Chain A
Amino acid sequence: MLAILPQLIYTGLGIGAIYALCSLGFVLLIRAANVVNFAQGQFSMLGAYIMLVLLVGVGVPYWAAFLLAVILMAGFGVVFAGAVYWPLRHRSQLAVIISTIGASILLPNVVLATYGPSPATVPGLFANPGFMVGPIFVDTQYLSVMVITVAMVVLQYVIFEKTLLGKKLQATSQDKEMASMLGISVAAMVLITFAYSAILGALAGVLVAPILFVSVGMGGTLALKAFAANIIGGYGNIPGAILGGLIIGLAETLGAAYISTPYKDAFGFLILLLVLLVRPRGLFGELIAEKA
């Protein structure tokens, strides 16, 4: 049993990296726009379907379909912001949450109506499925997920901490009116945030597509886990979201192998419950605590 442990850890981290990506997009919107976007998982679902349509339906080459899906989703993020968030921006956070829940119901149903219910498969990023490193079979798709997740985390860190744009995004999230009084375009900051968040969601979608089936329901599952990751790590905390995603990925994979496969999804949420019992503000503490 223990012999497969390194392999399980590898797979768990790969799955966890996908949750982390999705969770990162989630946290970004919380931090920059105070929006809890319950449709975050649908960004992944849509991204995967766009890739599928481009690849299978239109016949676009693989990498072009991959990039195009992500770019189109950035545009969709802007449209989403305009339709779901902007009209309610002066209302309470609850109104926006309900609006995003509405979108999370609408979007899969639009896809269901146009594409039908049957799940589809997408080939992996690389033709070579993987190679052995010691006892571990290094699946190239999982490896791609991890590499891209790390790259996006670094990019996000650089943007937020090292650029003036990042400071403006942070200022906007902390006090929109004050930001506008300094001449920062709040609308532009919010749109950028939504676009970037949709890119993160889409990346999770197109990367998970070859691992799982592309299905109408995939967004809901991803969003739940991304949300759980966010709570485990500490609400609104960026390193926490990543760690939370990895923990859930590991818990699922190890739990499925050693305890029970049908209860795979339950293990992540079990950890969520444990964290809430022992450390209710999450592993890294909440955003609110950070800001006092």
Chain B
Amino acid sequence: MSLLAIEGLHARYNAGEVLHGLDITVEEGEIVALLGANGAGKTTTLRAISGLLSHVSGKIDFAGETMLGKGPGAIVRAGIAHVPEGRRVFPGLTVRENILLGASNRPTLKRAAREQEMEAMLEHFPDLRRMQNALGWTLSGGQQQMLALARGLMATPKLLLLDEPSLGLAPLIVQQVFRIIAEIRKRGTTVLLVEQNAHMALSVADRGYVLETGRILVSGKPDALWNDPKVRAAYLGGVEA
């Protein structure tokens, strides 16, 4: 059984349908990349999984349970954490407070345990340890991305949805972010990764899907995608070649 099984996913905003029947599976322990140009429907797919859209149909099963129709709170409690586009760090809260709130999906967690987990998280992110009492808005883009990742991991998710983690970051920071993503998987968390930076995404992913205007154009192993002429023409060509 796949950890995440999506079949015939349709989603629409008021302006019209943007996902026209997607089939996506994510196996436990994988990193799966969702690639595509701007407006292909990558972010919408993640938002549909997280229960943030009101007009969604099809099948979204997670660990054998349907997520369709559930709210974002129920979905993160089921074990899907979403690190959204633009990081969305709480600007008026400190780094520590932002991280602590990541555990809000586990209301029974005792205060001491929560603090301990946060300390452990700061060990993994030395940059954040240095800035632990700084307010969110004072952080650089790279630090905010680290913070968003740490906050997402505090939910102890089985599946982490990452939306454009490299967007707007300097190349060195992008490499650091992707090293962390690889580490996250090593520690047992499955990752569904949305990226415009196809090169970086395919360097860490086990499989990928290429979306074009709300449909899956092609899917497969990174090498196959990389060499697929359709993919190069439709998406990679425009950005990378």
Contact = CB atoms under 8 A, between A and B. Distances in A.
A184 interface: yes
A182 B91 contact: no
B100 A174 contact: no
Interface residues of B, number: 26
A168 B90 contact: no
Contacts of B72: 177, 180-181, 183
A291 B52 contact: no
Contacts of A179: 101, 104
Contacts of B100: 164, 167
Contact of B137 (A167, A180, A291): A291
A198 interface: no
B88 A178 contact: yes
Contacts of B137: 291-292
B73 A184 contact: yes
B42 interface: no
Given A167-B97, A177-B52, A292-B137, A182 B104 contact: yes
A253 B143 CA distance: 51
B92 A181 contact: no
Given A167-B100, A168-B101, A182 B76 contact: yes
Contact of A183 (B52, B73, B90, B91): B73
Contact of A178 (B73, B90, B107): B90
Given A167-B100, A291-B137, A292-B137, A182 B151 contact: yes
A183 B155 contact: yes
Nearest to B102: A182
Interface string A270-292: 00000000000000000000111
Contacts of B93: 167, 170-171, 174
Contact of A182 (B92, B101, B111): B101
B158 interface: no
Given A167-B100, A167-B101, A181 B91 contact: no
B92 A291 contact: yes
B214 interface: no
Contacts of B90: 170-171, 174-175, 178
Interface in A18-57: none
B145 interface: no
A260 interface: no
Counting chain A residues whose Cβ lies within 8 A of the other chain, the interface size class is 10 to 19
A123 to B, nearest CB: 43
B71 interface: yes
Given A167-B93, A170-B90, A291-B137, A181 B101 contact: no
Interface in A157-175: 164, 167-168, 170-171, 174-175
A164 B103 CA distance: 11
B151 A175 contact: no
A87 B92 CA distance: 27
Interface string A178-211: 1111111100000000000000000000000000
A292 B92 CA distance: 9
B82 interface: yes
A171 to B, nearest CB: 5
Interface string B10-54: 000000000000000000000000000000000000000010100
Contacts of A175: 88, 90
Nearest to A90: B54
Contacts of A292: 91, 137
B91 A180 contact: no
A185 B71 CA distance: 10
Most central of B82, B90, B97, B151 by chain A CB within 10 Å: B90
A17 B101 CA distance: 34
B69 to A, nearest CB: 15
A292 B139 CA distance: 12
B105 interface: yes
B160 to A, nearest CB: 12
B50 A183 contact: no
Top 9 A-B residue pairs of the complex, sorted by shortest distance between their CB atoms: A183-B105, A183-B104, A178-B88, A180-B72, A183-B76, A182-B104, A184-B104, A174-B90, A183-B73
Interface of A: 164, 167-168, 170-171, 174-175, 177-185, 290-292
21 contacts: A164-B111, A167-B97, A168-B104, A170-B92, A171-B93, A171-B101, A175-B88, A177-B88, A178-B88, A179-B104, A180-B52, A180-B71, A180-B73, A181-B52, A181-B76, A181-B84, A182-B76, A182-B155, A184-B104, A291-B91, A292-B137
Given A171-B93, A177-B72, A181-B76, 16 more contacts: A164-B111, A167-B97, A170-B93, A171-B101, A179-B101, A181-B72, A182-B101, A182-B105, A182-B151, A182-B155, A183-B77, A183-B106, A184-B73, A184-B104, A291-B91, A291-B137
